[in-house]
A and B are shown apart, each in its own frame.
Chain A
Amino acid sequence: MSKPIVLLINGESCTVQCDPETPLLTALRDELGLTGTKYGCGEGQCGACTVLLGGAPRRSCQIPVSAAAAKPITTIEGLEKDRQLHPVQQAFLDAGAFQCAYCTSGMILSSVGLLSANPNPSSADIIQYLQGNICRCGTHPRIIEAVHQAAKSMRERG
C-alpha cells in the first residue's frame, strides 16, 4: 500500500508517496525526479545506483525506501555546492574519467565514500573499493587516477 514517507535528501526533507517496499532508486528517480542516480542491474552488482546513506555508499536499488527514511541521503545532485563541484567531481572532469558516463554518478559517489573513510588510499585500496562498480567503456585507469587526484586536492584543502 502506498503511503507518505519522509526522506532527507541532499539536506532537504522530501515526502514521497509510495509503497514502502519500493526501492530507494525508484523513489529517487520516479517520485522525486533525481535521475542522476542510474539503474544498471537491479541486483546491487553494477554500482550505477550508488548513493550515500548516512555518509556510506549504498546500492539504492537494494534498499526499500522505508529503510532509507532514518538517514541523510546524498545523491549526485547534492555534491555540488554553490556551483562549486565536489573535488571528486572536479577530478573526474579533469581526468576525463568517463566515456558514455552512465556509470559516472555511481563511481563518484563510491569514491566520495572511499575518501571519507580513507583520505589517502593506495591504488590497491581504490581497486578494492570500486570492484563493485562496473564501467563497460573501460575507463578504469582514469577513474583510479581521478580518485588519487581528488584525494590529493581534498588533503590539500584540509
Chain B
Amino acid sequence: MMSSNILKFEPEPERYEFSAGPMHHFDLARRDFFKLLGAGIAVFAVAKDSLAKQETAPTRGFHQEELPKEITAWLHVGEDGNVTAFTGKVEIGQNIRTSLAQTVADELRVPFESVTMVTADTALTPFDFGTVGSRSMPTMSPQLRRVSAAARDLLVSAAAREWKVATEGLTAADGKVSDPATGRSLRYGELAHGKTLAQNLPAEDPVTPANQWRIAGKPIPKKDGRSFVTGKHEYTPDLHRPGMLYGKVLRPPSFGATLTSFDDKAAQAMNGVVIVHDGNFVGAAAANEREASKALEAIHTEWKEVRQTSSKELFSYLKQNAKPSSNERSRRVKGSVEEGLSAAAHRLDASYSIAFIAHAPLEPRAALAEWSEGKLTVWTGSQRPFAVRDELADAFHVSENNVRVIVPDTGAAYGGKHTGDAALEAARLARAAGHPVKVVWTREEEFTWAYFRPAGVIEIKSGIAADGTLTAWEFHNYNSGMSAIETPYAVPNQHVEFHTTECPLRSGSYRGLAATANFFARESHMDDLARAVRGEPLEFRLKNLNEPRLRAVFEAAAKSFGWPGKKTQEGQGFGIAGGLEKGGYVATCAEVAVDRTSGAVRVVRLTTAFECGAIVNPDGLRNQVIGANIQGLGGALFEAIEFENGRITNRRFSSYRVPRFRDVPEIDAVLLDRKDLPSAGAGETPIMGVAPAIGNAILDATGTRLRNLPMAPQGLPLAKS
C-alpha cells in the first residue's frame, strides 16, 4: 500500500547548490589531537559509504568527485570528564549545537552540561559537505551516537580492566562506570586519566533506541543561551583582530558590468588607505569603515553594462528561454496522461508563477581574513565552511592545508549562505594590506549581491473521474527546481518534468528549495479539483492519498485546527495543504480574513502538523516549525525581489517587505513524535504548506484563486475595481 503510487526521483538534485570543491584528508594528526585537547579517550567515526553519499553528495552525478572515505565526526573524553565532540556542522539558529550535544550526552551517558560541541572549523572538525538539505539530524546525529556509544564501550572496558572483571554486568550512567555487584564506580575522567587512547569506530555500533533516550527527546534550552541575551556572543561582524582594518568593495552599477576605466589617484593620496584593483574587483581597506567608503567614493570608474531582463517580463522570459531538452533525470512518465485525460470527467489546466525572493538573514554576509606567513585564516558566516575553504584556496592559489575557515554561530542563513563571497573579498584586501581585514556587507549589498530563491513557472494539466479519483497529472516546472516535484497522491497516469531555463538573476538554495513552489502549485490545483467534483478539500485529498505518514499529519492538523472551519463572518476563509519532503511530513491549515473594501488579507490562524521521526528536542523543533510558518507567510503574501536591467530596485527593508509582528497570526505547531522512526531534519519542510494553505483559504473567502507567489503584495486585486 505504502507509497506504491509515488514516482521516485533520484534524491533531490540541489540544482542551485553551488558545487563543492575536491575532497581532502583531515590534517589533524592524532598526536596533535591529544596535544590540543590533553590526554583522554578519543573516538573517530568513519563514514559508512551510504552515509557519506548522503552527506557529501545529495545526488549522484551532481558532483563528480570521489566520495570521502574518511572521518566524519570525532569525540574526546578528557581527564576532567568533560566531553568535546567535533562536527563540521554550523549553528545558524536551527539549534543544532544543542540537539547534537543532547545526542552525545544521551548516548555517552553524561550530563548535558559536560558536552561541548566544536563546530565548523576546517582545522579542527572533520570534513562536512555543509549544513544544507536538512541533513544534520538524519546523518550527523547517528554518527555522533555511534562515536558516543564506542567511547562508552572504551570507558567500560577500561573500568573492567581496572577491576579485573568482565565488561558484562558493568553499567554506564551519569558520567560513571559502575559495577552493581560490588557497588564500586569510576568517573569517566578517572578512567581517561593518563591515557591517549584513540579508536576508529567499528562499522556499526548498536545505539540507544529513541524510546530509551533520557536526554535526547527533551526540551533542553539552547546551549549558551545566556551569551545571546547578554550580547556577548560574537557573530562574524563582531570579531576583532589586532591591527585589523575595515574593508569595503566598490560594486558595479549592474549585474555583469565590466570595468573599462579606473583612476584611483585621489584615493591613493588619502592616508592609511589600501586600494585593490584586480580585474573587476575594486576595494579599499582603512582604519574604519568611513575612511574605506570615502576612499571608494574618490575612485573614478567607468563600466560597460549589458542590457538585461526585468521583473516585469520575468515569467514570459523563463518560458521563452527554456532549454530544449531535459535529461532523463528531470522527467518521469508513468502510464499515459493522454489516456488519463480522455477518461476524465473533469479536466483542469492552470499555470502558476513564483517570484524571486531574498533570504535577508539579519546578519549580513561578513568575513574577517588574516594572512600569516602564507597561511590564511577566515572567520565567516557560512553554511559550508569547507567549500569556502576550497574557494579561497582556488582563488589565492594556495593549498587547502594553508587555509582555515572558522564559522562562529551565525545570524541565520535560510539556505542563503552557501558561498564565500565576503570571505574572498576580505582575504583579497587583507593580502594587499598586510593586515587583517573585516568586510561586512551593507543591507543593500546583501539584497543585491547575494543570491535569490529562484523564480519559476509551473504548468499543470490534470484529469479527475466523477467519483473524485485522479486519472491524469501532468506537471511542468520551469526553473524553480525539482525539490518535492513529485505528487504524493495516487495517480495512474503521470508526466512530471523539470525544465531548465536561462535565469536572469543569480539563484541558489533557499529554505525548502523549490518545494515551496511545487507544493504551492500542486496543493492549489488539488483544491480546485476538489471543487470541480464538489468535494471537501481534506476528504478529496485523503481519497487520493495512500501514504500513511502524510495522512496522519493531515488528520492531526485538521483535528487541532477544527477542520472544516465554520464561517461566522464575511471575508473569513479556511484552507488546507500538505505534502512530504526531506523525510518530513507536513500539513498546514490556514484561516484568513479578507477585508472586502480594502482588499487587505490577514492570516488569522495557522496550524501546522509536522512529523520528522523521533523528536530530539521538542522545544527547538517547535521554534523551527513556528519560524518556518512565519517565514513562509512572507513569501506567500508579499515578498518579491524587483529588478530592472541588472539592478535590484527594492534592496532595503523599507522597500522589501518581510513579516513583522503585526503580520504574525496565532500559530499552533502540532508535533507528531514517532519514536519508532529515525529522526529527519526539520528546518525546511514545515515552510512548504503555508503558501498553498493561505491561497486555498483566500479562495474559500473570496472565490478568487491566486496563482502567483506572492499572492497579495498590495492586498487583493479584486478590491481595486
Chain A residues near B (Cβ < 8 Å):
18-19, 22, 26, 29-30, 33-43, 45-46, 48, 75-77, 79-80, 85, 89-90, 92-93, 96, 98-105, 108, 126-128, 130-142, 144
Contact = CB atoms under 8 A, between A and B. Distances in A.
B659 interface: yes
A38 B443 contact: no
B120 to A, nearest CB: 14
B594 interface: no
Given A43-B652, A45-B653, A134-B362, 11 more contacts: A35-B238, A36-B230, A36-B231, A38-B363, A100-B363, A101-B229, A102-B93, A102-B361, A108-B229, A133-B661, A140-B659
A138 B628 contact: yes
Interface string B658-670: 1111101001000
Nearest to B366: A39
B226 interface: yes
B42 interface: no
Contacts of A18: 288, 290
Interface string B216-260: 000001100110111111110110100000100000000000000
Interface in B693-709: none
Given A39-B440, A96-B221, A100-B92, A26 B363 contact: no
Contacts of B661: 126-128, 130-131, 133, 140, 144
B412 A102 contact: yes
Nearest to A108: B229
B288 to A, nearest CB: 6
A140 B362 contact: no
B626 interface: yes
B362 A102 contact: yes
B414 A136 contact: yes
Nearest to A78: B231
B360 interface: yes
B288 A30 contact: yes
A133 B238 CA distance: 20
Contacts of A127: 661-662, 664
A124 B270 CA distance: 52
A101 B630 CA distance: 16
B653 A102 contact: no
Contacts of B627: 99, 137-139
A100 B361 contact: yes
B362 A105 contact: no
Contact of B619 (A29, A77, A92, A96): A96
Contacts of A35: 231, 234, 237-238, 240
A26 B288 CA distance: 9
B221 A93 contact: yes
B119 interface: no
A85 B290 contact: no
A34 B221 CA distance: 26
A136 B412 contact: yes
A45 B654 contact: yes
Given A39-B237, A45-B652, A45-B653, A136 B360 contact: yes
Contacts of A89: 229-230
A76 B95 CA distance: 22
Contact of A104 (B229, B240, B658, B667): B229
Nearest to B627: A138
A75 B442 contact: no
A141 B667 contact: yes
A26 B623 contact: no
B235 A102 contact: yes
B624 interface: yes
B591 to A, nearest CB: 16
B231 A76 contact: yes
B631 interface: yes
Contacts of B230: 36, 76-77, 79-80, 85, 89
Nearest to B652: A43
Residue among B228, B237, B409, B624 with most chain A CB within 10 A: B228
Contacts of A90: 229
A90 to B, nearest CB: 8
Contact of B443 (A37, A40, A79): A40
- Give the bracket for the number of chain B residues in contact with chain A: 35 or more
Contact of A99 (B95, B660, B662): B95
Given A77-B231, A99-B95, A100-B361, A140 B238 contact: no
Contacts of A30: 246, 288-289
Contact of B222 (A36, A96, A102, A135): A96
14 contacts: A30-B289, A33-B240, A36-B232, A40-B443, A45-B653, A48-B362, A93-B221, A99-B94, A100-B92, A100-B93, A104-B228, A132-B660, A134-B362, A137-B623
A51 B555 CA distance: 46
Interface string B462-484: 00000000000000000000000
A140 B664 contact: yes
Nearest to B656: A45
Contact of A41 (B412, B652, B664): B652
Nearest to B225: A93
B410 interface: yes
Given A43-B443, A93-B221, A100-B412, A134 B361 contact: no
A96 B364 CA distance: 23
Contacts of A104: 228-229, 231
Contacts of A77: 230-232
B99 interface: no
B713 interface: no
Contacts of A130: 661
Interface string B424-466: 0000000000000000101100000000000000000000000
A145 to B, nearest CB: 11
A123 B559 CA distance: 27
A137 B225 contact: no
A97 to B, nearest CB: 9
Contacts of B409: 100
A141 B628 CA distance: 13
A33 B411 CA distance: 19
Contacts of A93: 221, 225-226, 229
A46 B662 CA distance: 14
A26 B225 contact: no
B134 interface: no
A127 B627 CA distance: 17
Given A19-B290, A134-B653, A141 B363 contact: no
B403 to A, nearest CB: 25
Nearest to A101: B228
Given A100-B363, A137-B412, A41 B653 contact: yes
Contacts of A132: 660
B238 A29 contact: yes
A139 B93 CA distance: 11
Contact of A142 (B290, B412, B623): B623
Nearest to B438: A30
Contacts of B94: 99
Residue among A39, A48, A92 with most chain B CB within 10 A: A39
Nearest to A144: B661
B380 interface: no
A77 B237 CA distance: 17
A131 B662 contact: yes
B684 to A, nearest CB: 13
